[in-house]
Structure 1
Amino acid sequence: MVVRTLIASLLLAAGAQALAAPPPLSAFFDNSPFNGAMLSPDGRYLAAFIGANDKRDGLAVVELDTLKATMVAQFSDTDIGQAQWVNNQRLMFSTTDKASGQRDMRYGPGLFVVERDGKRFRQLAMRRNAFIRNGSDDNREMLPWHTFMLDEPGAQDSDYVYVTDASITKAGTLVALDLLRLNTSNGTALPVAHPGTARSWTLDQNGEPRLLQTLDQDSAKLLYRDPASSEWRTLNSYQGYTGEGQNFTPLAFGPDGALYVISSQGRDRSALYRYDLEHNKLPPQHVLELDGFDFRGKLIISKGRLLGVRVHADATGTEWFDPAMKTLQAQIDARLPGTINLVTPPVRPESAWVLVESYSDKQPLRYLVYNTETQKFSEVGRIAAQIKPADMGPRELYYYKARDGLQIPVWLTLPPGGAKKNLPMVVLVHGGPWVRGGRWEWNADAEFLASRGYAVLEPEFRGSTGYGKQLFRAGWKQWGLKMQDDIADGARWAVAQGYADAGRICIAGASYGGYATLMGLIRDPDLYKCGINWVGVSDINLMYDGGWFYSSDLSNEWKRYGMPALIGDQVKDAEQLKATSPLLQASRIKQPLLLAYGGADRRVPINHGLKLYDAVKAGNPNVEWIEYSEEGHGWHLPKNRIDFWGRVERFLDKNIGTP
């Protein structure tokens, strides 16, 4: 197979030199110099996010037939964040500052456009009070800093796009998300009239706004704008913070105008349906379901036809409807064995190029383009390029039964090579908690720990999403209770299976995972020999009211309607919240504990950590405190990620590792 690196002139050397085992911390936690790519609508050009030679991330465009690469946008003080093709000639993009923590963020993302040859650069939206002028025609009023791109690029066949105008509180809470029709050539924008308080939008097959989700207090609605009358009508009304009464969620419009939705009505796990807009109802038969998982995915449309669906089951893959794409997938898979290869055709192809994203549990995402006529690959770039698959361990999905009989999915990552039994183990608890924790892919946190000789167990405890309503609903009001039992049962399952040494298990996690770490040390002191909590909740009542000095981005509506139902009511469940408070039971934590918090965290303000540290330290000398004053809810800066995981490595080696 002939592989050519497209952007060698813009990257540092694409191939990493042989690494000593195990790979260094930077291989896992440094910023990647390559961050993805996307085809133009006609498939003749490729846009890629590139940072090289200590420069900020820029936006490069490659003419695929000639392999000529041009850096079309790059700043000295910030990085390119998101981008999308407006049409075959023009790109729109925003910025993000990868060199600043949350405390030091001073600017919004801005909004800019540039031609594919780097000409006609223009700023359309402000970065707060910062203006970047480029010519006399820019002496006009720009859109405000809180203007953002939609996740949907639209029709990509004119100068027009739709962008959102977000209303955001000082604490960072989203209030409303209005829509603007923006002319990217002259910068003029017009608002889209709509009822209610807008929270999300869906464009139709022609790139026009067709669906609107509103949220007023706890009352949510899904509204459809009739193309014949332009009038809005309600398709579904439901409770906004618990989802009670929500019959389906919209996915996208097909090329024929059909609305595809995701629904679990009458079933435990959701499936994909083609919604009946004429009669406002779901059809009796689904289009596609995933074995063992709620449906997640997106439509793949090219040449005005629905070719297939990108699906997210245990791994991200593709279900092709089109016979020609099935054949092409088989050809590419035969040339790239051992990896999942995601093939994306252009929207309106005028060339033979397709984009291929290749990955496995041991290989981070690798981007290539494939010419269907010459049958040759050209490599574009790799995420985490220092990582070698041979240095990584296997990752698999298993299931175990909790003590009440509920089936719990769990991800297990093992060290590369060597022994697979009786290992020291880290139980890594995901945050959220109302999210899906993992999938079959390369995971930096888990693979780092595995590379240091630890088995890594990641339970999808009750309350996790993606595995059906029963598992999700079973987690309501179970913080510190049955959710905690599921995690402990997973650790004991790993011991019974022979993977873990019962005397060398540590529990760790961030946010909710940090809360579960603390409750695990309290409830199961015989099981966990140590704990690592970063940015973790230490008391549920502190989430409701952290005091006047510490601001939180949790909205009053979430505290009023969501938290009482999903976590616990401050009045009705007062005793339960006391019994499941790590802060109030801190004296029971006797194991070694590593605590890390961000000084600018608005999701779990630092007082959660400060209060807990003081309470635990009073009776436990083995408590280590880390504060990254510039960070928020997680580590944005590579230096802090590397520092933190280096401390984790030393902490684990001391307490459960092998000298």
Structure 2
Amino acid sequence: MRKFIAAALITLLSFNTLSAQDKKLPIEAFAGLKDFSQVKLSPNGENLAFVRNNKGTLILMVKNFKTGVITPVLQSDNQTVFFDWYSWANDDVLLLGARHIKYQFGGAKYTSTLMYAYNLTDDKGIKLAMRGNAARGERQPQFADKIVSFLPKQKNKILVQGDFKIANTPAVYELDLTTLRRTQIQRPRNNVTAWFADRQGNVRIAKIMDDTQFTYELLNAETGDWDTLFDYEVFSEQSISILGFDKSPNLLYISALHNGRDALFRLNLTTKERELIYSNDKYDFDGSIFYSSKTGEVAGFTDSHLEDGVNYWDADLDKLYRSLRASLAKDEYDLDIVSTTEDQQKYIVYFTSDSTSGMYLLGDRTKNELALLAHAYPKIDETVYGGKERISYKARDGLTIEGYLTLPVGYEKGDKLPTIIFPHGGPMARDYANFDYWTALLAYNGYAVLQPNFRGSSGYGYEFLMESIQGFGLAMQDDLQDGANWLIEQGIAQPEKICIGGASYGGYAALMAVVKHPETFKCAASFAGVSDLEHLVFKARYFTNKEIVRKQFGTDDDMLEANSPVTYAKQINRPILLVHGSDDSVVPVYHSREMEDELDDEGKDVTYIELDDGDHYLSHQAHRVKTLQAFLDFFDKHLKSE
């Protein structure tokens, strides 16, 4: 394998490469959207699609390798139109999913998704792929970008689902990618929220949601009846996730509990016998299966706790992966083959390590070449980012809590640093060792940053995860203070200079931290944080998942009030920063507005920034830059100015 990873790197698309950092980086180097993302080859390898960031505007572009021409397809500022995903449907057609902000009668806003088709062989431009036909009595679905199957034997057709007839009750349609005409192949059914097709394109499984009960039904080919395959209560030990069919339509891959941890199984749909494929006695299986574009078979599976992060069953892909590992000799790095041509002779590799935020490489096996395409964050290298260290500490009740510690480049043992505890959102989620812009920016500016995977986080087994059910403000909150105390014991944190910040649930946890543990945390910064649990549960009555919300948080108003930060506005005596998007559909802006109002009424030190038309994910680059600058300025003021 010829190696182009050297001082001079070939750049096929004339992208900028890294250069030595000789001055302080602007905040945009970290807080900007990725310069390049979602790089994918067409099945025949003649075209390369990618998303380019041009000063905050995301542009989906296609480069033709033969002509060298680069064509813009769709652009979005991720503020009123959000570019979510795209996929090659065949050699000529790109399918794209985008979110739009819509207005209801009275001015209320809501989110709607649409799917577009772009055909490289005509000059008609991008077209709406799924549109309701009012003449046939159809409605326009709120979510119209759901693909059920890329039909393997019909390159110009796919299966999609949409509730064109009954709201929240989707049917399945065959969509012709040339004419964009739909033919219904599966009628809608009450309470069915999703459909699954096998690798031959046959609709086989229906997912049913009835309050807090989930049922998966399997089509009986002999009788035409739908038989129960799985049936479980939300948050129960019987919960399963469908990962996909094998090439054999009788085999299905699922994730389910095994000895208290999620594991990977292969299920025989005839005998209902489960074959354990992979499990870890310490961690949940957190990956997925993937397919060979060459054979259509399941090519292997991913899991973050595997040595290489991936297990290849496909001999050809395994050979490619091993050759890449040998060629790109480096102690700590990860490789992910993110795209291949149909014959697997050309491929895209996403490369990450402790000293890079991620870069894309283009390989050609017939020419024995590997070349750099682009960096995700071109100004971030080993001179400004040193990666994360996985750590663990004991909580006050003896439970082991893992997390990730990010330190400034050049940190030497014994140095005591101003410190930020940065809990993740969710809370049924977790942090990993991969690059993230929050911690990288804070460490670059001299902070030690700890991301604890507190109890209630995913990845550590069923019992650990269930601590988040009606656990807000309780032991999972204490785990954060225990993490701060551990950093003090390790001689890393300056005891008098520790703050806490986070987004979504992390924002809630930051606010509760200065309620419960003001002796530890000198300030708290919240982006899109929940402040009023009682209001959260009350508002859920308008949504189809209301019973799930009630089960997750409980319905005891006194308990909800006792664990809501807004209740304690009078007693909070630490500086507070609140940032929230006005169009947040996950945690409504009400939460930060109410928190700011209550704190201001009590004469507290509170700063509130509202992002006009901002969402829950800081999708818009200007919002992301503004928010991270506000967090950095806030922490600097309260941890460095004294």
Give the TM-score taking structure 2 as reference length: 0.87
CA contact (8 A) 1:58 1:75 kept: yes
Equivalent residue, structure 2, for 1:134: none
**Pairing of 1:346-385 with structure 2 (within 5 A):** 346=340, 348-349=342-343, 352-385=345-378
Give 1:507 shift.
Answer: 0.9
Per the alignment, residue 295 of structure 1 pairs with 285
TM-superposition CA deviations, 1:243-301 (whole Å, max 9, x none): 32635321111223353433444411111111021122423xx1112463211222232
Say if 1:586 and 1:56 are closer, same or farther in 2 by CA, change over 3 A: closer
Distance 2:305 2:24 in 1: 31
User: For the Cα contact (< 8 Å) 1:61–1:69, is it kept in 2?
Assistant: yes
| Runs of 4+ in structure 1 over 6 Å off | 76-79, 103-107, 126-129
Q: 1:158 to 1:215 in 2, by over 3 A?
A: same
CA contact (8 A) 1:22 1:451 kept: no
**Corresponding residue for 1:68?**
68
The separation in 2 between residues aligned to 1:569 and 1:220, in whole angstroms, is: 21
Aligned pairs for 1:627-638 (under 5 A) are 627-638=610-621
Structure 1 pair 440–542 and aligned structure 2 pair: CA distance change class (3 A): same
- The letter of the residue matching 2:285 is F
- What whole-Å deviation, never above 9, does each CA across 1:200-233 have from its counterpart, x for those lacking one? 2333112333222111223321122245555422
- For 2:96, the equivalent position in structure 1 comes to 93
Aligned residue number for residue 274 of structure 1: 266
- State the Cα distance separating 1:93 from its structure 2 match: 2.0
- The answer as to 2:101 corresponding to 1:114 is no
- Structural mapping, 1:175-574, within 5 Å: 175-191=168-184, 192-227=186-221, 230-239=224-233, 242-244=234-236, 246-283=238-275, 286-290=276-280, 292-302=282-292, 303-313=295-305, 317-336=309-328, 337=330, 338-344=332-338, 346=340, 348-349=342-343, 352-420=345-413, 421-435=415-429, 437-545=430-538, 555-559=542-546, 561-570=547-556, 574=557
Q: Deviations over 1:623-648 (max 9, x none)?
A: 21212232232433222221221122
Kindly provide the amino acid, as one letter, of the partner of residue 295 in structure 1.
F
Q: Quick one: which of 7, 24, 28 aligns to 2:13?
A: 7
Equivalent residues of 1:269, 1:293 under 8 A apart: yes
Matched, 1:165 2:162: yes
1:293 touches 1:467 (CA, 8 Å); kept in 2? yes
For the 8 Å contact 1:480–1:516, the answer to whether it is kept is: yes
Taking the aligned partners of 2:552 and 2:126, their CA distance within structure 1 comes to 46
1:545 CA displacement: 2.9
* 1:592 Cα offset (Å): 1.3
Preserved CA contact (<8 Å) 2:420 2:501: yes
- Output the CA distance in 2 between the equivalents of 1:26 and 1:593: 24
User: Does the 8 A contact of 1:237 with 1:245 survive in 2?
Assistant: no
| Structure 1 residues 55 and 264: alpha-carbon distance in aligned structure 2, compared to 1, 3 A threshold | closer
Q: Which residue of 2 aligns with 1:27?
A: 29
Structure 1 segments unaligned to the other structure (5+ residues): 130-140, 547-551
Helix, strand or coil for the counterpart of 1:196?
A: coil
Shift of 1:81: 4.2
Mapped partners of 2:139, 2:71: distance in 1: 25
Task: Give the 3 Å change call, closer, same or farther, for CA 292–79 of structure 1 in structure 2.
Answer: same
Q: Pick which of 189-198 and 512-521 moved more.
A: 189-198
- Shift in CA distance, 148/567, structure 1 to aligned 2, threshold 3 Å: same
CA positional deviation for 1:341: 0.9
> Could you list the runs of 5+ residues in structure 2 that have no partner in the other structure?
none
For 1:95-152, what per-residue CA distance to the aligned partner results, in whole angstroms no more than 9, with x for missing partners?
A: 4579x9xx998995543323345645452347899xxxxxxxxxxx997674214276
Equivalents in 1 of 2:299, 2:538: separation in Å? 50
Residue number in structure 2 paired with 1:582:
565
Change beyond 3 A, Cα 1:603–1:344: closer
Query: Which one of 570, 574, 577 corresponds to residue 591 of structure 1?
Result: 574
Structure 2 contact 239–256 (Cα < 8 Å) conserved? yes
Q: 1:377 to 1:166 in 2, by over 3 A?
A: farther
Of stretches 266-275 and 16-25 in structure 1, the one that deviates more from structure 2 is 16-25
Q: Distance in 2 between matches of 1:51 and 1:95?
A: 16
Instruction: State the distance in 1 between where 2:550 and 2:268 align.
Output: 35
Return the letter of the residue paired with 1:25. I
* 1:428-471 deviations in Å (ceiling 9; x for gaps): 11111122x21121111111111111111111111111221021
Deviates more, 1:39-48 or 1:217-226: 39-48
Among 564, 583, 594, the residue aligned to 1:611: 594
CA contact (8 A) 1:196 1:216 kept: no
**2: CA distance, partners of 1:352 / 1:150:** 27
1:592–1:381 distance in 2 versus 1, CA, 3 Å: same
> Cα offset for 1:41?
3.0
Contact 2:207 2:214 in 1 (8 A): yes
Residue 49 of structure 2: aligned partner: 47
Give the TM-score taking structure 1 as reference length: 0.85
Return the match for 2:128 from 105, 124, 130.
124
Distance 1:201 1:419, change over 3 A: farther
Q: Quick check: which one's strand share is greater?
A: 2
Residue pair 1:315, 1:440 contacting (<8 A) in 2 also: no
Greater CA deviation, 526-535 or 289-298?
A: 289-298
Question: Residues of 2 paired with 1:281 and 1:73: CA distance?
Answer: 47
1:645 matched to 2:639? The reply is no
Write out per-residue CA displacement over residues 514-544 of structure 1, whole angstroms, 9 at most, x where no aligned residue.
2111111011111101111122111211112
Once structures 1 and 2 are overlaid, which stretch shifts more, 640-649 or 514-523? Answer: 640-649
What amino acid does structure 1 have at the position aligned with 2:10?
Answer: R
- The amino acid that maps onto 1:6 is L
Which letter does structure 1 place at the counterpart of 2:349?
V
Q: Is the 8 A contact 1:148 1:166 kept in 2?
A: no
Q: 1:107 and 1:354, CA in 2 relative to 1: closer, same or farther beyond 3 A? A: same
SS of structure 1 residue aligned to 2:193: strand
Contact 1:539 1:608 in 2 (8 A): yes
Report sequence identity in percent.
26
The CA deviation at 1:313 is 3.2
| Residues matched between the structures, number | 619
